[in-house]
Amino acid sequence: MNNKELVAELAHRLGKTQKEIGSLLDTTTVAMVDAMSEDTQLYMQGFGAFEVRKKQDRVLINPVTKQKMVVPPKLSLTFKVGTTYKNKLKNLPSSGK
């Protein structure tokens, strides 16, 4: 499901226009990013936790030239699903993918 399909589905379920739902989703994602920039973790009860982790710098070696390169540190976003939804997903029938 892409963003457009999600907006259409939510609009249908909530009886709102796609424009209203699109604006709501945009506002929600901006608020989530702002919260994670102030703190390193955003926890949503039952759904899961988003966490910003800092990856350390590391040294890579080009296998062809044998040249060493330093990859600078970077921030990485991780998600850990909550137990409520984890259990719901476990009980879904397999889709064969």
Q: In this predicted model, what pLDDT tens digit does every residue of 32-91 receive, in sequence order?
A: 988 888 877 889 888 899 999 889 999 999 999 999 999 999 988 999 999 888 888 888
Q: Given a cut of 80, is residue 20 above it in pLDDT? A: yes
Whether the model clears a pTM of 0.75, i.e. scores above it, the answer is no
Residue 55: phi and psi, rounded to 5, are: -90, 135
* Arch. (CATH architecture) of 40-97: Irregular (4.10)
Give residue 66's region: left, alpha or beta (phi > 0; psi -120 to 50).
left
- Nearest-CA neighbor of 21 among 5, 43, 42? 5
